[in-house]
Amino acid sequence: MTHRERDILQRLHDAGVILTVDGERLRYRAPAGALTPDLRAALEELKPDLLYEYHERAGILEYDAHLPRAEAETKAEAVLKGGMME
């Protein structure tokens, strides 16, 4: 994950924006006014990279760490929510 992606994720997290993945869709929940036009534009620009990162991490966790897919996806999604990989 690039420094810019981490910065955007941190800004989203600080604003109370929660990201989730639904297949190939990146969804968000945010308090009213939290997703500024600048943050929305950055999120839209990074969406393909964030989805790739999510699926890549989930795949690695599933195969290398021998986790069930659902658990691997949950751990990979934690990164999008501002968490760190364990």
**What would the pLDDT profile of 15-70 be if each residue is shown by its tens digit?**
999 999 988 899 999 999 999 999 999 999 999 998 998 999 999 999 999 999 99
Query: Would you say the C-alpha torsion 14, 17, 18, 21 has a positive or negative sign?
Result: negative
User: Is residue 86 domain-resident?
Assistant: no
User: Is residue 85 domain-resident?
Assistant: no
**Domain encompassing residue 21:** 3-80
State the pLDDT confidence band at 82, using cuts at 50, 70 and 90.
low
Looking at residue 23, what is its pLDDT?
Answer: 85
Angle between helices 3-14 and 37-64 (to 10 degrees): 110
User: Is residue 62 domain-resident?
Assistant: yes
Measured CA to CA, the distance from residue 73 to residue 60 in angstroms comes to 10
Pick the closest to residue 20 from 82, 81, 85 (CA basis): 81
Measured CA to CA, the distance from residue 30 to residue 71 in angstroms comes to 25
Q: Tokens 């990164």 map to which residue? A: 79
